[in-house]
A and B are shown apart, each in its own frame.
Chain A
Amino acid sequence: MFQTTEMEINLGPQHPSTHGVLRVLLKVDGERILESKPVIGYLHRGCEKLGETRPMPQVVVYTDRMDYVAAFAGNLTYIEAVERLIGLEAPPRAKYMRVVLAELQRIASHLLWLGTHALDIGAMSVFLYCFREREMILDLFEGYCGARLTLNAVRIGGQLNDFPDGWVDEARRFLNAFPKQVEEYETLLSQNRIWIERTRGVGVISAEEAIDWGLSGPPLRGSGVAWDIRKSNPYAAYADLSFDVPVGENGDTYDRYLVRMEEMRQARRLALEALDKMPGGDVRAKVPKRLKPPAGAEVYHATESPRGEMGVYLKSDGSETAYRCRFRSPSFVNLQALPALVKGHLIADIVTLIGSIDIVLGCVDR
Protein backbone atom coordinates (compact mmCIF):
# COMPACT_ATOMS: atom_id res chain seq x y z
CA MET A 1 0.00 0.00 0.00
CA PHE A 2 1.81 3.08 1.18
CA GLN A 3 5.53 2.80 1.45
CA THR A 4 7.13 5.07 4.01
CA THR A 5 10.54 6.36 3.12
CA GLU A 6 13.32 6.94 5.54
CA MET A 7 14.33 10.48 6.22
CA GLU A 8 17.77 11.67 7.21
CA ILE A 9 17.71 14.36 9.82
CA ASN A 10 20.66 16.24 11.13
CA LEU A 11 20.50 17.27 14.76
CA GLY A 12 23.10 19.86 13.99
CA PRO A 13 26.00 21.13 16.02
CA GLN A 14 24.01 24.24 16.76
CA HIS A 15 20.98 23.02 18.57
CA PRO A 16 19.36 24.18 21.74
CA SER A 17 19.61 20.80 23.41
CA THR A 18 22.76 18.99 22.55
CA HIS A 19 24.92 19.90 25.48
CA GLY A 20 27.57 21.63 23.55
CA VAL A 21 28.44 21.12 19.93
CA LEU A 22 27.32 17.59 19.27
CA ARG A 23 26.06 16.58 15.91
CA VAL A 24 23.86 13.53 15.55
CA LEU A 25 22.89 12.15 12.15
CA LEU A 26 19.55 10.44 12.43
CA LYS A 27 17.79 8.09 10.09
CA VAL A 28 14.13 8.18 10.95
CA ASP A 29 11.07 6.43 9.68
CA GLY A 30 8.26 8.78 10.57
CA GLU A 31 8.97 9.29 14.24
CA ARG A 32 10.94 6.13 14.98
CA ILE A 33 14.69 6.38 14.94
CA LEU A 34 16.32 3.62 12.95
CA GLU A 35 19.93 4.60 13.20
CA SER A 36 21.91 7.38 14.73
CA LYS A 37 25.49 8.45 14.41
CA PRO A 38 27.08 11.02 16.70
CA VAL A 39 29.69 13.23 15.09
CA ILE A 40 32.07 14.89 17.52
CA GLY A 41 35.23 16.92 17.33
CA TYR A 42 33.76 20.39 17.08
CA LEU A 43 35.37 21.35 20.38
CA HIS A 44 38.69 19.54 20.04
CA ARG A 45 41.49 21.72 21.33
CA GLY A 46 44.34 19.28 21.64
CA CYS A 47 44.46 19.05 25.42
CA GLU A 48 46.51 15.90 25.37
CA LYS A 49 49.11 17.38 23.06
CA LEU A 50 49.20 20.51 25.19
CA GLY A 51 49.76 18.25 28.18
CA GLU A 52 52.86 16.94 26.48
CA THR A 53 54.35 20.33 25.66
CA ARG A 54 53.97 22.10 28.98
CA PRO A 55 55.58 21.27 32.32
CA MET A 56 53.32 19.26 34.52
CA PRO A 57 52.42 22.01 37.03
CA GLN A 58 51.06 24.13 34.20
CA VAL A 59 48.80 21.50 32.62
CA VAL A 60 46.26 21.81 35.46
CA VAL A 61 44.84 24.83 33.70
CA TYR A 62 43.79 22.70 30.74
CA THR A 63 42.03 20.16 32.89
CA ASP A 64 39.71 22.92 34.09
CA ARG A 65 38.53 23.52 30.59
CA MET A 66 37.94 19.96 29.54
CA ASP A 67 35.02 19.10 31.76
CA TYR A 68 34.09 22.66 32.44
CA VAL A 69 31.02 21.77 34.46
CA ALA A 70 32.94 19.80 37.06
CA ALA A 71 36.31 21.48 36.82
CA PHE A 72 37.47 20.38 40.22
CA ALA A 73 37.23 16.73 39.28
CA GLY A 74 39.57 17.24 36.35
CA ASN A 75 42.01 19.23 38.47
CA LEU A 76 42.00 16.65 41.22
CA THR A 77 42.55 13.67 38.94
CA TYR A 78 45.48 15.26 37.19
CA ILE A 79 47.18 16.54 40.31
CA GLU A 80 46.79 13.25 42.12
CA ALA A 81 48.24 11.46 39.10
CA VAL A 82 51.27 13.76 39.17
CA GLU A 83 51.63 13.23 42.90
CA ARG A 84 51.63 9.49 42.38
CA LEU A 85 54.15 9.83 39.62
CA ILE A 86 56.67 11.75 41.71
CA GLY A 87 55.87 9.85 44.88
CA LEU A 88 54.55 12.76 46.90
CA GLU A 89 51.65 12.59 49.29
CA ALA A 90 49.50 15.51 50.32
CA PRO A 91 49.07 16.22 54.03
CA PRO A 92 45.83 14.97 55.67
CA ARG A 93 44.27 18.39 55.90
CA ALA A 94 44.70 18.90 52.19
CA LYS A 95 43.08 15.55 51.53
CA TYR A 96 40.01 16.44 53.55
CA MET A 97 39.83 19.82 51.89
CA ARG A 98 39.90 18.10 48.53
CA VAL A 99 36.98 15.89 49.57
CA VAL A 100 34.91 18.88 50.63
CA LEU A 101 35.56 20.74 47.41
CA ALA A 102 35.05 17.66 45.26
CA GLU A 103 31.69 16.91 46.80
CA LEU A 104 30.57 20.52 46.46
CA GLN A 105 31.57 20.31 42.83
CA ARG A 106 29.59 17.11 42.47
CA ILE A 107 26.48 18.82 43.80
CA ALA A 108 27.03 21.76 41.46
CA SER A 109 27.52 19.50 38.46
CA HIS A 110 24.43 17.45 39.21
CA LEU A 111 22.40 20.60 39.68
CA LEU A 112 23.38 21.75 36.22
CA TRP A 113 22.60 18.32 34.83
CA LEU A 114 19.16 18.35 36.45
CA GLY A 115 18.38 21.82 35.22
CA THR A 116 19.33 21.14 31.62
CA HIS A 117 17.75 17.70 31.56
CA ALA A 118 14.46 19.05 32.88
CA LEU A 119 14.65 21.95 30.43
CA ASP A 120 15.09 19.57 27.52
CA ILE A 121 12.05 17.61 28.59
CA GLY A 122 10.09 20.83 28.97
CA ALA A 123 10.00 21.74 32.65
CA MET A 124 11.46 25.20 32.38
CA SER A 125 11.30 26.31 35.97
CA VAL A 126 13.48 23.56 37.42
CA PHE A 127 16.35 24.99 35.38
CA LEU A 128 16.14 28.32 37.16
CA TYR A 129 15.76 26.84 40.61
CA CYS A 130 18.79 24.58 40.13
CA PHE A 131 20.87 27.48 38.98
CA ARG A 132 19.90 29.48 42.00
CA GLU A 133 21.46 26.76 44.19
CA ARG A 134 24.41 26.40 41.89
CA GLU A 135 25.09 30.11 42.28
CA MET A 136 25.59 29.60 45.97
CA ILE A 137 28.12 26.85 45.38
CA LEU A 138 29.92 28.92 42.78
CA ASP A 139 30.07 31.77 45.27
CA LEU A 140 31.71 29.39 47.73
CA PHE A 141 34.26 28.43 45.10
CA GLU A 142 34.90 32.04 44.31
CA GLY A 143 35.56 32.70 47.95
CA TYR A 144 38.02 29.87 48.11
CA CYS A 145 40.05 30.03 44.94
CA GLY A 146 38.95 33.16 43.12
CA ALA A 147 37.20 31.68 40.13
CA ARG A 148 33.80 30.16 39.61
CA LEU A 149 34.19 27.90 36.63
CA THR A 150 37.85 27.42 35.74
CA LEU A 151 38.90 26.72 39.26
CA ASN A 152 42.57 25.77 39.23
CA ALA A 153 42.06 25.00 42.89
CA VAL A 154 44.55 22.19 43.47
CA ARG A 155 48.31 22.35 43.47
CA ILE A 156 50.87 19.59 43.44
CA GLY A 157 51.45 18.52 47.03
CA GLY A 158 48.23 19.81 48.47
CA GLN A 159 46.23 22.99 48.26
CA LEU A 160 47.56 26.46 47.72
CA ASN A 161 45.56 28.18 50.43
CA ASP A 162 43.58 27.22 53.43
CA PHE A 163 39.91 28.11 53.61
CA PRO A 164 39.37 31.84 54.15
CA ASP A 165 37.70 33.04 57.33
CA GLY A 166 34.03 32.34 57.48
CA TRP A 167 34.12 29.98 54.51
CA VAL A 168 33.44 26.88 56.56
CA ASP A 169 30.42 28.49 58.21
CA GLU A 170 29.04 29.61 54.90
CA ALA A 171 29.56 26.13 53.46
CA ARG A 172 27.81 24.57 56.41
CA ARG A 173 24.93 26.98 56.07
CA PHE A 174 24.49 26.06 52.45
CA LEU A 175 24.76 22.33 53.06
CA ASN A 176 22.24 22.43 55.88
CA ALA A 177 19.71 24.27 53.77
CA PHE A 178 20.24 22.05 50.76
CA PRO A 179 17.93 19.06 51.45
CA LYS A 180 14.89 21.31 51.34
CA GLN A 181 15.80 22.37 47.83
CA VAL A 182 16.27 18.80 46.70
CA GLU A 183 12.84 18.05 48.04
CA GLU A 184 11.45 20.89 46.00
CA TYR A 185 12.87 19.46 42.81
CA GLU A 186 11.55 16.06 43.71
CA THR A 187 8.06 17.48 44.26
CA LEU A 188 8.16 19.05 40.86
CA LEU A 189 9.51 16.03 39.06
CA SER A 190 9.72 12.64 40.72
CA GLN A 191 6.05 11.88 41.09
CA ASN A 192 4.86 14.03 38.23
CA ARG A 193 3.03 11.79 35.82
CA ILE A 194 4.35 13.58 32.76
CA TRP A 195 7.93 13.18 33.95
CA ILE A 196 7.37 9.53 34.79
CA GLU A 197 5.92 8.86 31.37
CA ARG A 198 8.76 10.64 29.62
CA THR A 199 11.55 8.88 31.49
CA ARG A 200 10.39 5.43 32.61
CA GLY A 201 11.38 2.73 30.21
CA VAL A 202 13.29 5.08 27.95
CA GLY A 203 16.83 4.13 27.10
CA VAL A 204 17.19 0.91 29.04
CA ILE A 205 20.70 -0.45 29.42
CA SER A 206 21.10 -3.81 31.07
CA ALA A 207 23.96 -4.38 33.49
CA GLU A 208 25.90 -6.60 31.07
CA GLU A 209 25.53 -4.10 28.28
CA ALA A 210 26.69 -1.33 30.53
CA ILE A 211 29.84 -3.20 31.45
CA ASP A 212 30.43 -4.16 27.82
CA TRP A 213 30.20 -0.57 26.69
CA GLY A 214 32.57 0.50 29.44
CA LEU A 215 30.17 2.95 30.98
CA SER A 216 30.92 4.48 34.33
CA GLY A 217 29.30 6.76 36.82
CA PRO A 218 25.53 7.13 37.04
CA PRO A 219 24.81 5.36 33.73
CA LEU A 220 26.57 2.30 35.10
CA ARG A 221 25.08 2.52 38.55
CA GLY A 222 21.62 3.16 37.17
CA SER A 223 21.75 -0.24 35.54
CA GLY A 224 22.39 -2.00 38.81
CA VAL A 225 26.17 -2.41 38.80
CA ALA A 226 27.51 -1.33 42.18
CA TRP A 227 30.83 0.22 41.22
CA ASP A 228 32.15 3.48 42.60
CA ILE A 229 35.83 4.37 42.46
CA ARG A 230 35.54 6.20 45.73
CA LYS A 231 34.81 2.86 47.35
CA SER A 232 36.90 0.48 45.29
CA ASN A 233 40.06 2.57 44.86
CA PRO A 234 39.74 5.34 47.42
CA TYR A 235 41.72 8.50 46.85
CA ALA A 236 41.97 11.73 48.87
CA ALA A 237 40.30 11.06 52.21
CA TYR A 238 37.45 8.84 51.03
CA ALA A 239 38.74 5.77 52.80
CA ASP A 240 37.99 7.33 56.18
CA LEU A 241 34.54 8.62 55.38
CA SER A 242 31.27 6.73 55.22
CA PHE A 243 28.65 7.19 52.56
CA ASP A 244 26.21 5.15 50.52
CA VAL A 245 26.40 4.51 46.82
CA PRO A 246 22.99 4.67 45.13
CA VAL A 247 22.28 2.01 42.56
CA GLY A 248 19.29 1.70 40.26
CA GLU A 249 17.32 -1.31 39.17
CA ASN A 250 16.10 -1.06 35.62
CA GLY A 251 18.70 1.02 33.88
CA ASP A 252 16.26 3.45 32.33
CA THR A 253 16.34 7.23 32.37
CA TYR A 254 14.23 7.45 35.50
CA ASP A 255 16.70 5.31 37.42
CA ARG A 256 19.63 7.42 36.32
CA TYR A 257 17.68 10.47 37.48
CA LEU A 258 17.03 8.89 40.87
CA VAL A 259 20.67 7.84 41.20
CA ARG A 260 21.89 11.37 40.60
CA MET A 261 19.38 12.88 43.01
CA GLU A 262 20.51 10.49 45.70
CA GLU A 263 24.14 11.20 44.87
CA MET A 264 23.48 14.86 45.61
CA ARG A 265 22.25 13.91 49.05
CA GLN A 266 25.20 11.61 49.67
CA ALA A 267 27.60 14.29 48.50
CA ARG A 268 26.13 16.65 51.03
CA ARG A 269 26.56 14.02 53.71
CA LEU A 270 30.18 13.47 52.73
CA ALA A 271 30.96 17.17 52.66
CA LEU A 272 29.48 17.74 56.12
CA GLU A 273 31.35 14.76 57.53
CA ALA A 274 34.63 15.91 56.01
CA LEU A 275 34.12 19.40 57.41
CA ASP A 276 33.51 17.94 60.84
CA LYS A 277 36.47 15.59 60.75
CA MET A 278 38.94 18.00 59.17
CA PRO A 279 42.36 17.72 60.84
CA GLY A 280 44.62 20.67 61.38
CA GLY A 281 48.05 21.12 59.97
CA ASP A 282 49.57 22.62 56.87
CA VAL A 283 47.87 22.32 53.57
CA ARG A 284 50.77 21.71 51.26
CA ALA A 285 53.68 19.32 51.41
CA LYS A 286 57.20 20.37 50.56
CA VAL A 287 57.42 20.34 46.79
CA PRO A 288 60.83 20.40 45.09
CA LYS A 289 61.56 23.39 42.88
CA ARG A 290 61.96 21.19 39.86
CA LEU A 291 59.82 18.10 39.60
CA LYS A 292 61.92 15.01 38.98
CA PRO A 293 59.75 12.04 38.17
CA PRO A 294 61.65 8.80 37.66
CA ALA A 295 62.38 8.27 33.98
CA GLY A 296 60.16 5.69 32.34
CA ALA A 297 57.61 5.69 35.17
CA GLU A 298 53.97 5.57 34.19
CA VAL A 299 50.85 5.96 36.22
CA TYR A 300 47.12 5.73 35.57
CA HIS A 301 44.98 7.43 38.16
CA ALA A 302 41.19 7.48 38.07
CA THR A 303 38.66 9.31 40.19
CA GLU A 304 34.92 9.38 40.34
CA SER A 305 33.93 12.59 38.63
CA PRO A 306 30.23 13.45 38.53
CA ARG A 307 30.10 12.06 35.00
CA GLY A 308 31.89 8.81 35.62
CA GLU A 309 35.42 7.58 35.72
CA MET A 310 37.82 10.38 34.91
CA GLY A 311 41.27 9.00 34.31
CA VAL A 312 44.73 10.43 33.64
CA TYR A 313 47.59 8.40 32.29
CA LEU A 314 51.06 9.88 32.54
CA LYS A 315 54.33 8.52 31.28
CA SER A 316 57.43 10.44 32.09
CA ASP A 317 60.87 10.62 30.56
CA GLY A 318 62.54 12.11 33.60
CA SER A 319 61.87 15.77 32.75
CA GLU A 320 59.23 18.10 34.05
CA THR A 321 57.13 17.65 30.94
CA ALA A 322 55.24 14.40 30.59
CA TYR A 323 56.24 12.22 27.68
CA ARG A 324 52.69 11.00 27.18
CA CYS A 325 49.63 12.46 28.78
CA ARG A 326 46.28 10.84 28.15
CA PHE A 327 42.93 11.87 29.53
CA ARG A 328 40.28 9.19 29.77
CA SER A 329 37.15 11.24 29.76
CA PRO A 330 33.93 9.70 31.03
CA SER A 331 31.68 11.55 28.60
CA PHE A 332 33.55 10.25 25.58
CA VAL A 333 33.12 6.64 26.63
CA ASN A 334 29.54 7.08 27.80
CA LEU A 335 28.59 8.78 24.55
CA GLN A 336 29.48 5.68 22.59
CA ALA A 337 26.43 3.96 24.00
CA LEU A 338 24.10 6.55 22.48
CA PRO A 339 23.36 4.83 19.13
CA ALA A 340 22.45 1.58 20.87
CA LEU A 341 20.28 3.39 23.39
CA VAL A 342 18.38 5.45 20.92
CA LYS A 343 17.47 2.78 18.39
CA GLY A 344 13.74 2.27 18.23
CA HIS A 345 12.79 5.33 20.21
CA LEU A 346 11.05 8.45 19.00
CA ILE A 347 12.72 11.68 18.01
CA ALA A 348 11.54 13.28 21.20
CA ASP A 349 13.57 10.76 23.17
CA ILE A 350 16.93 11.54 21.74
CA VAL A 351 17.29 14.76 23.67
CA THR A 352 16.13 12.98 26.79
CA LEU A 353 18.83 10.39 26.31
CA ILE A 354 21.62 12.81 25.52
CA GLY A 355 20.70 14.57 28.73
CA SER A 356 20.42 11.38 30.69
CA ILE A 357 23.91 10.18 29.82
CA ASP A 358 25.10 13.62 30.94
CA ILE A 359 27.80 14.52 28.48
CA VAL A 360 29.82 17.66 28.37
CA LEU A 361 31.33 18.27 24.98
CA GLY A 362 34.49 19.77 26.40
CA CYS A 363 35.07 16.41 28.03
CA VAL A 364 34.16 14.44 24.91
CA ASP A 365 36.37 16.36 22.54
CA ARG A 366 39.13 17.55 24.86
Chain B
Amino acid sequence: MSTGKAMDKPLVVRFKKPSLLSRIFLLDLFRGLAVTLREQFNPHTTVEYPRERIDLKPRFRGVPRLRNHPEHGEDLCIGCNQCAMACPDNCITVVAEARPEGAKIKAKRAKAFIIDYERCCLCGLCVDPCPTEPITAIYMSHDFELAHYSRERFVTPAAELYEGHETVVYEK
Protein backbone atom coordinates (compact mmCIF):
# COMPACT_ATOMS: atom_id res chain seq x y z
CA MET B 1 0.00 0.00 0.00
CA SER B 2 1.83 3.08 -1.16
CA THR B 3 1.41 6.49 0.30
CA GLY B 4 0.59 8.63 -2.69
CA LYS B 5 2.07 11.88 -3.72
CA ALA B 6 1.77 14.62 -1.15
CA MET B 7 -1.44 16.60 -1.26
CA ASP B 8 -0.92 19.16 -3.95
CA LYS B 9 -2.62 22.48 -3.67
CA PRO B 10 -6.21 21.96 -2.63
CA LEU B 11 -8.98 23.81 -4.38
CA VAL B 12 -10.37 26.38 -1.99
CA VAL B 13 -14.08 26.98 -2.41
CA ARG B 14 -15.14 30.43 -1.44
CA PHE B 15 -18.35 32.30 -0.88
CA LYS B 16 -19.05 34.70 -3.71
CA LYS B 17 -20.72 37.71 -2.20
CA PRO B 18 -23.67 38.73 -4.38
CA SER B 19 -23.35 42.14 -5.97
CA LEU B 20 -25.13 45.16 -4.49
CA LEU B 21 -27.36 45.34 -7.53
CA SER B 22 -28.37 41.76 -7.03
CA ARG B 23 -29.12 42.35 -3.39
CA ILE B 24 -31.28 45.45 -3.88
CA PHE B 25 -33.24 44.24 -6.84
CA LEU B 26 -33.59 40.68 -5.56
CA LEU B 27 -32.00 39.25 -8.70
CA ASP B 28 -31.03 36.04 -6.96
CA LEU B 29 -34.65 35.46 -6.00
CA PHE B 30 -35.88 36.08 -9.52
CA ARG B 31 -33.34 33.67 -10.97
CA GLY B 32 -34.64 30.98 -8.65
CA LEU B 33 -38.19 31.69 -9.76
CA ALA B 34 -37.12 31.41 -13.39
CA VAL B 35 -35.69 27.94 -12.75
CA THR B 36 -38.88 26.58 -11.25
CA LEU B 37 -40.97 28.18 -13.96
CA ARG B 38 -38.80 26.61 -16.62
CA GLU B 39 -39.08 23.23 -14.97
CA GLN B 40 -42.83 23.59 -15.04
CA PHE B 41 -42.79 23.04 -18.76
CA ASN B 42 -40.45 20.07 -18.69
CA PRO B 43 -42.05 16.65 -19.14
CA HIS B 44 -42.83 14.88 -15.92
CA THR B 45 -40.62 12.05 -14.81
CA THR B 46 -43.34 10.11 -13.08
CA VAL B 47 -43.97 6.56 -14.23
CA GLU B 48 -47.53 5.73 -13.32
CA TYR B 49 -46.94 2.28 -11.98
CA PRO B 50 -48.76 -0.12 -12.33
CA ARG B 51 -50.39 1.25 -15.44
CA GLU B 52 -47.01 2.09 -16.95
CA ARG B 53 -43.87 0.11 -16.37
CA ILE B 54 -40.21 0.72 -17.00
CA ASP B 55 -38.26 -1.87 -18.94
CA LEU B 56 -35.90 -3.70 -16.64
CA LYS B 57 -32.28 -3.97 -17.65
CA PRO B 58 -31.08 -7.45 -18.66
CA ARG B 59 -28.96 -7.90 -15.54
CA PHE B 60 -31.75 -6.94 -13.17
CA ARG B 61 -31.69 -9.09 -10.05
CA GLY B 62 -35.16 -10.36 -9.22
CA VAL B 63 -35.80 -13.63 -7.40
CA PRO B 64 -33.53 -16.59 -8.19
CA ARG B 65 -35.08 -19.29 -10.36
CA LEU B 66 -33.93 -22.44 -12.07
CA ARG B 67 -33.82 -23.12 -15.77
CA ASN B 68 -33.64 -25.92 -18.27
CA HIS B 69 -31.09 -26.64 -20.95
CA PRO B 70 -31.89 -24.43 -23.95
CA GLU B 71 -31.59 -27.23 -26.48
CA HIS B 72 -32.96 -30.39 -25.03
CA GLY B 73 -34.96 -29.04 -22.13
CA GLU B 74 -33.56 -31.13 -19.29
CA ASP B 75 -33.24 -29.44 -15.94
CA LEU B 76 -29.75 -28.08 -15.72
CA CYS B 77 -29.23 -28.23 -11.96
CA ILE B 78 -26.72 -30.92 -11.02
CA GLY B 79 -27.28 -30.69 -7.28
CA CYS B 80 -23.72 -29.61 -6.45
CA ASN B 81 -24.85 -27.45 -3.50
CA GLN B 82 -22.45 -24.62 -4.38
CA CYS B 83 -25.24 -22.05 -4.40
CA ALA B 84 -26.49 -23.16 -0.99
CA MET B 85 -23.00 -22.75 0.44
CA ALA B 86 -22.56 -19.34 -1.13
CA CYS B 87 -25.80 -17.92 0.19
CA PRO B 88 -25.29 -15.53 3.13
CA ASP B 89 -28.80 -16.11 4.45
CA ASN B 90 -28.92 -19.91 4.19
CA CYS B 91 -32.11 -19.88 2.22
CA ILE B 92 -31.40 -22.64 -0.32
CA THR B 93 -31.78 -26.32 0.43
CA VAL B 94 -30.71 -28.88 -2.19
CA VAL B 95 -31.09 -32.63 -2.14
CA ALA B 96 -29.43 -34.46 -5.02
CA GLU B 97 -30.26 -37.74 -6.73
CA ALA B 98 -29.00 -39.62 -9.75
CA ARG B 99 -30.51 -38.93 -13.16
CA PRO B 100 -32.35 -41.71 -15.00
CA GLU B 101 -30.66 -43.73 -17.78
CA GLY B 102 -30.33 -41.92 -21.11
CA ALA B 103 -30.30 -38.45 -19.71
CA LYS B 104 -28.30 -36.03 -21.79
CA ILE B 105 -26.56 -34.38 -18.82
CA LYS B 106 -24.08 -36.75 -17.21
CA ALA B 107 -24.39 -35.64 -13.63
CA LYS B 108 -26.75 -35.77 -10.71
CA ARG B 109 -29.84 -33.69 -10.53
CA ALA B 110 -31.76 -31.95 -7.81
CA LYS B 111 -34.38 -34.12 -6.17
CA ALA B 112 -35.53 -31.24 -4.03
CA PHE B 113 -34.56 -27.63 -4.40
CA ILE B 114 -36.16 -25.21 -2.01
CA ILE B 115 -35.59 -21.49 -1.78
CA ASP B 116 -37.04 -19.55 1.12
CA TYR B 117 -37.94 -16.21 -0.42
CA GLU B 118 -38.57 -14.67 2.95
CA ARG B 119 -34.85 -14.79 3.67
CA CYS B 120 -33.49 -14.22 0.19
CA CYS B 121 -31.92 -10.76 -0.08
CA LEU B 122 -31.60 -10.88 -3.89
CA CYS B 123 -27.83 -10.46 -3.70
CA GLY B 124 -26.99 -12.79 -6.58
CA LEU B 125 -24.12 -14.57 -4.82
CA CYS B 126 -25.76 -17.91 -5.64
CA VAL B 127 -25.34 -17.40 -9.38
CA ASP B 128 -21.55 -16.90 -9.28
CA PRO B 129 -20.45 -20.42 -8.33
CA CYS B 130 -22.99 -22.31 -10.47
CA PRO B 131 -20.84 -24.50 -12.75
CA THR B 132 -23.30 -25.71 -15.36
CA GLU B 133 -22.79 -25.07 -19.05
CA PRO B 134 -23.79 -23.37 -21.33
CA ILE B 135 -25.85 -21.26 -18.96
CA THR B 136 -26.08 -21.33 -15.21
CA ALA B 137 -28.87 -23.43 -13.78
CA ILE B 138 -29.81 -20.82 -11.24
CA TYR B 139 -30.33 -17.29 -12.46
CA MET B 140 -31.82 -14.05 -11.22
CA SER B 141 -35.17 -13.62 -12.90
CA HIS B 142 -36.93 -10.32 -13.47
CA ASP B 143 -39.70 -11.05 -11.04
CA PHE B 144 -39.99 -8.62 -8.16
CA GLU B 145 -43.67 -8.39 -7.36
CA LEU B 146 -43.78 -10.84 -4.51
CA ALA B 147 -46.46 -9.85 -2.04
CA HIS B 148 -48.43 -12.76 -0.60
CA TYR B 149 -51.10 -13.25 1.97
CA SER B 150 -49.46 -16.18 3.72
CA ARG B 151 -45.91 -16.96 4.77
CA GLU B 152 -45.93 -20.55 3.57
CA ARG B 153 -46.18 -19.29 0.02
CA PHE B 154 -42.65 -17.98 0.33
CA VAL B 155 -40.94 -21.34 0.69
CA THR B 156 -40.86 -22.35 -2.92
CA PRO B 157 -40.13 -25.89 -4.05
CA ALA B 158 -38.33 -26.84 -7.25
CA ALA B 159 -41.31 -27.45 -9.49
CA GLU B 160 -42.44 -23.92 -9.07
CA LEU B 161 -38.94 -22.64 -9.53
CA TYR B 162 -38.73 -24.20 -12.93
CA GLU B 163 -42.02 -23.08 -14.24
CA GLY B 164 -41.86 -20.05 -12.07
CA HIS B 165 -44.72 -19.55 -9.70
CA GLU B 166 -47.14 -17.50 -11.72
CA THR B 167 -45.39 -14.22 -12.18
CA VAL B 168 -47.82 -11.84 -10.63
CA VAL B 169 -48.18 -8.63 -12.56
CA TYR B 170 -49.97 -6.00 -10.51
CA GLU B 171 -52.82 -4.40 -12.36
CA LYS B 172 -53.83 -1.54 -10.17
Q: List chain A positions with a Cβ less than 8 A from chain B.
A: 54, 57-62, 64, 84, 125, 129, 132, 135, 139, 142-147, 150, 152, 155, 160-161, 164, 184, 187-188, 190-193, 196, 200, 221, 226-228, 231-235, 238-239, 244-249, 254-255, 258-259, 261-262, 266
Asked if B151 CB lies within 8 Å of chain A CBs, one says no
Given A150-B121, A192-B28, the answer on whether A255 and B13 have CB atoms closer than 8 Å is: yes
Q: How many A-B residue pairs have CB under 8 A?
A: 131
Residue pair A155, B128 in contact (C-beta under 8 Å): yes
User: With a CB–CB cut-off of 8 A, which chain B residues contact A228?
Assistant: 7
Given A142-B57, A147-B61, A239-B2, the answer on whether A152 and B28 have CB atoms closer than 8 Å is: no
User: With a CB–CB cut-off of 8 A, which chain A residues contact B13?
Assistant: 246-249, 255, 258-259, 261-262
User: A152, A188, A227, A249: which contacts B123 (Cβ < 8 A)?
Assistant: A152
A-B contact list, 15 entries, CB within 8 Å: A59-B88, A142-B56, A146-B57, A146-B61, A152-B123, A164-B57, A164-B59, A191-B18, A191-B28, A193-B28, A196-B18, A226-B10, A239-B2, A262-B11, A266-B11
Residue pair B12, A249 in contact (C-beta under 8 Å): yes
User: How many chain B residues have a CB neighbour from A under 8 Å?
Assistant: 42
User: B3, B29, B36, B60: which contacts A233 (Cβ < 8 A)?
Assistant: B3
In the complex, chain B residues 25-50 whose Cβ is within 8 Å of any chain A Cβ = 26, 28-29, 31-32, 35-36, 39, 45
Asked if B102 CB lies within 8 Å of chain A CBs, one says no
User: B4, B23, B88: which contacts A58 (Cβ < 8 A)?
Assistant: B88
Asked if B58 CB lies within 8 Å of chain A CBs, one says yes
Residue pair B32, A249 in contact (C-beta under 8 Å): no
User: With a CB–CB cut-off of 8 A, which chain B residues contact A239?
Assistant: 2, 4-5
Asked if B16 CB lies within 8 Å of chain A CBs, one says yes
User: With a CB–CB cut-off of 8 A, which chain B residues contact A258?
Assistant: 13-15
- State A160–B124 Cα separation when bound (angstroms): 11
Residue pair B22, A246 in contact (C-beta under 8 Å): no
Given A142-B59, A144-B59, A238-B4, the answer on whether A61 and B28 have CB atoms closer than 8 Å is: no
